[in-house]
Each structure stands twice: as structure tokens, then as C-alpha cells.
Amino acid sequence: MKTIRKDLLIEKTLIEHCLLEKEVLMNTDHPFMVNMEYVFQTENRIFFIMRFVRGGELYRHLRAEKQFSEKRAKFYVMQVALAIGHLHSMNVVYRDLKPENILMDSDGYIRLTDFGLSKSLERSEDAYTFCGTPQYLAPEILAKKGHNKPVDWWTLGILTYELIVGFTPFYCGGDT
């Protein structure tokens, strides 16, 4: 369950992001993405009820094992690529790919989750919002010159490296 305070949505002008996240979660039936079962609201909050994914975050599994074999990393990356490709077919750019946003089910398959930074863009349209997790940001986002679907493929490369090596390619100390 995800709970969202309405006052924060209004204060931070995130209503559009919340509506897109709801649309993605409600209208996506993909084996490698979390989807929403129900949505409801009270006077102060919005509640997204999603299917429970038993295995926890991929991040937790990676930290426990330090790094994955190439074969295992390919298994996860292929699933993420299919999920990202599906989002792109819906003209949605994900923009926040990282191990914390990937859940693992009880059978060892992944589910992409947390679509709060996603953006709906047409092919020739660009976004200019500076958003995402620092270690995964694509050069286009850093340069603030506009970005589109390729930023997701950049972050998939960063994720692939991290799964195999155990840390992001531009790691310079501190938390990964």
C-alpha cells in the first residue's frame, strides 16, 4: 500500500505525477511490473493498494550477496528491459531505475515499482525536470537540456554494471 498526503501533492505541485502514477499502475498488466488492485481516498490521503510482492527489494538481495553472477544479472536485466520497453510503448519515461525500485517475487522474478517520477512524453517531446537518483542520472538530465526515453536505457546500463560489480560505475565513496 502506498499512502499519499493530498496537502503535500498540492504544496509540491505533484498532482500530475500522482495521476500518471495511478494511470500506469491501474492500466499496466505486465509480468515484470507491479500493478494496482484498488485506489481510494479519504479527505486527506490517497491510497494505492498494490499486489504484495513477497521477496523484497532487489537492493537488499544485492547488498546481502555483494554482486551477482553475469548470468543472474542478465536474468534480472532482461526483465527490467521488458518492463521499460512496455512503459516506453505507453509513451512513459520511468526516470528512477535503481535496485530500490525493483521488487523480487517469491519465485525470483522481478517487478518494477514506484512510478512517482515517471513522465508521459510523446516521441519528439522532452522533459526538463531534474529528477532521479544521483548515481544513476543520465548526462541529458545533468546537462538540463531536455531528456526522453533514452535516459531509461542509460540507467539500465548503470544498473547492469552495479549488479555485476557490486557498485555503480561512478562510485566515489559513501553509500552506493
Distance CA 21, CA 23 (A): 5
Instruction: Return the half-sphere exposure (C-beta side, CA atoms, 13 A cut-off) of residue 119.
Output: 21
Considering the candidates 7, 29, 96, 126, report the single residue annotated as catalytic. Answer: 96
Is 96 an active-site residue?
yes
Nearest CA among 9, 8, 35 for reference residue 22 = 35
Question: C-alpha grid cell for residue 75?
Answer: 536474468
Residues in the chain, how many?
176
- Integer CA distances (angstroms), 65 to 9, 30, 152, 159, in order: 37, 28, 25, 15
CB atoms within 10 A of CB 81: 16
**What does the DSSP assignment read for 62-109?**
HHHHSS--HHHHHHHHHHHHHHHHHHHHTTEE----SGGGEEE-TTS-
| Residues marked as catalytic | 96
